[in-house]
Amino acid sequence: MTTQDYLPAAGRRRLLPLYDPLIALLTRERRWRGAILESLDLQPTDILVDVGCGTGTLAVMAKQHMPQAQVIGIDPDPDALSRAQRKAAAKGVAVTFHQGLGNEVARLVGPGRATKVVSSLAFHHMPPEMRAQTIAAIHETLMPGGVLRIADFVGGHFGGPAETRLLTGLTAGGFENARWIGGFRVIFIKVTLVGGEKPRPGGGAPS
């Protein structure tokens, strides 16, 4: 898969201008994105990477929530990233955006650099092989003890994997304590929030 082989956030490139207004209109966006941020428990020293950041709403919210943290957004869609950059500028926050696929996270951010990684409503766009590669790249870019949170459609909705398959994928990708954290509905469809941590040397639990 190349950066030309992705599915745009709105499904079709020409629909991208409608994506943010429709999400805001049809979902309680601040509520479910806020739940994701709460699960991350952002700290001033964090380096947060948003994989599949799309138009940057969650990345911008994260920076507003914890201005001292460094926030990096990654997405393959240059048009979505342009909107993300304009959104960050309009909100007066500094977020770094990179163009790339999920399996390029470690190359774009650097191995062992991030403290936390999040992905929301992006994994259902990926075929199974890309999901596995993305989890592996996230594992590589996280420092030991680093935190991963994934929120996505499950149970076949919009091509989303089964919830158990997400958890199995985290464990297979080297994450410990893979677990269900919460759930909510987006456009009347179930979204699940799962998480795990990259093990510390010697098996110590993350703080």
Q: What is the pTM of this model?
A: 0.85
The 10s digit of each residue's pLDDT in 54-104 is 999 999 999 999 999 999 999 999 999 999 999 999 999 999 999 999 999
pLDDT at residue 117 tops 60 = yes
- Range with the lowest mean pLDDT among 101-110, 140-149, 154-163? 154-163
Average pLDDT, the chain: 86
pLDDT-based confidence at 37, cuts 50/70/90? Answer: very high
Write down the pLDDT at residue 3. 45
Write down the pLDDT at residue 157. 44
Report the alpha-carbon distance of residue 135 to residue 103 in Å, rounded.
8
Report the alpha-carbon distance of residue 23 to residue 184 in Å, rounded.
14
Rounded to 10°, the helix 163-172/128-141 angle is 50
Secondary element (H or E) of residue 81:
helix 78-91
Domains and CATH numbers, the chain: 13-199 (3.40.50.150)
Matching residue, tokens 């509905």: 185
pLDDT-based confidence at 164, cuts 50/70/90? Answer: confident
Give the residue among 110, 129, 117 at the shortest CA–CA distance from 169.
129
Write down the pLDDT at residue 147. 98
